[in-house]
Amino acid sequence: MAVSLKQMQYALAVARNGHFGRAAEACAISQPALSQQILALEDLCGTPLFDRLRSGIRLTPFGREFVAMAQEVVKRAEALDAFVLGHSGRPDRPIRFGLIPTVAPYLLPDIFPALTSGLPGLDFTISESRTEALIAGLIDGSLDVALIGTAPPDSGPTLVSRPLFEDPFVLATSSSDGTKEPVSLASLAPERILLLDEGHCFRDQTIAACRLGNDPARTFAATSLSTIVEFVANGQGVTLLPRIALRKEANDPRIAIHDLLSPGAGRLLSLVWREATPFGSTFEAMAEVIRATRPNG
């Protein structure tokens, strides 16, 4: 039995996400199904590809070599697939669309219906992951297009980036906090600023905006903005929020939202894809639809 392309894609997803559950979500299959495929692949190879750790997974030495070779095979297969489909400029399969976690829950309710109605005949497979994993997905061909909130890296394959719109930050405090606005970022007590856990670009943007240094000591780091907002509502700190999140995260009367003193802080949301794709015109059209669906915040 030969190693299948699908097994290689699953192995790359696990390596990219560092977690079987997140890899299964990105591949739009159940975790047991993905785990079964990885076990079958490891059985075929005669050795494990991954060390299973309490904190996640780690590539074995054999796994690192396998992933490096599989990336090339999958990349060539994706290129062949794109070549075959590219005569029409539109794929005849779902577009694999990734978004960062600090965007997906706030924009998808608006942009997904707009994309499906504004671009009839196109289907989408949606996944949510951190910026690093999305960029890796674009590079290895497991994603077609991604919506991110930071500049794509300069190294590696050329990526096309199209700006969508600015997303300013605001300060969230407890409604009993008594904060006066506009708020100067320099006036915030660093020890009171609550952050997302490492790997989120929004965490890095908050650290930079509040000048917290390269390695701020924290006993608390949340996996989602919703978790942070709950702590803020209970008076256990303050946080920056992207304006697109306010409809969902600022409905609690225990929360007060404050504008920042100029120049404030924010991020530019962008749509990114590989330059070497036959579907560039489709992704340009996606960007136009998303711009037109920009929420008021």
178 exposed, middle or buried (CB, 10 Å; 0-12, 13-18, 19+)? Answer: exposed
- 98-132 residue pLDDT tens: 999 999 999 999 999 999 999 998 999 999 999 98
Mean pLDDT value of segment 225-248: 94
Q: How crowded is residue 107: how many other Cβ atoms within 10 Å of its Cβ?
A: 21
Kindly indicate the confidence band of residue 219, based on its pLDDT and cuts at 50, 70 and 90: low
Yes or no: say if 129 and 98 are a contact pair by the CB < 8 Å rule.
yes
pLDDT at residue number 85: 63
User: What are 168's strand-pairing partners?
Assistant: 266
Yes or no: say if 274 and 143 are a contact pair by the CB < 8 Å rule.
no
- Which CATH number applies to 167-266? 3.40.190.10
Domains 1-88 and 167-266 share a fold: no
Question: Which CATH architecture is the domain 1-88 placed in?
Answer: Orthogonal Bundle (1.10)
Can you give the residue ranges of every domain in the chain?
Answer: 1-88, 167-266
Mean pLDDT value of segment 161-179: 93
- 30-69 residue pLDDT tens: 889 999 999 999 999 999 999 988 877 899 999 999 999 9
pLDDT at residue number 128: 92
pLDDT at residue number 248: 92
Yes or no: say if 243 and 170 are a contact pair by the CB < 8 Å rule.
yes
pTM of the model: 0.72
Check whether 234 has a pLDDT greater than 80. yes
How far apart CA 297 and CA 282 sit, in angstroms, is 27
Mean pLDDT value of segment 146-168: 87
- 262-283 residue pLDDT tens: 989 999 999 999 988 888 889 9
DSSP annotation string for 220-246: -EESSHHHHHHHHHTTS-BEEEEGGGH
Considering the chain, what percentage of its residues have pLDDT values greater than 70?
93
What are the tokens at 258?
Answer: 């404050």
- 84-106 residue pLDDT tens: 665 556 677 899 999 999 999 99
Phi, psi angles (nearest 5°) of residue 204: -60, -40
- Mean pLDDT value across the chain: 88
Considering the chain, what percentage of its residues have pLDDT values greater than 90?
57
Yes or no: say if 26 and 146 are a contact pair by the CB < 8 Å rule.
no
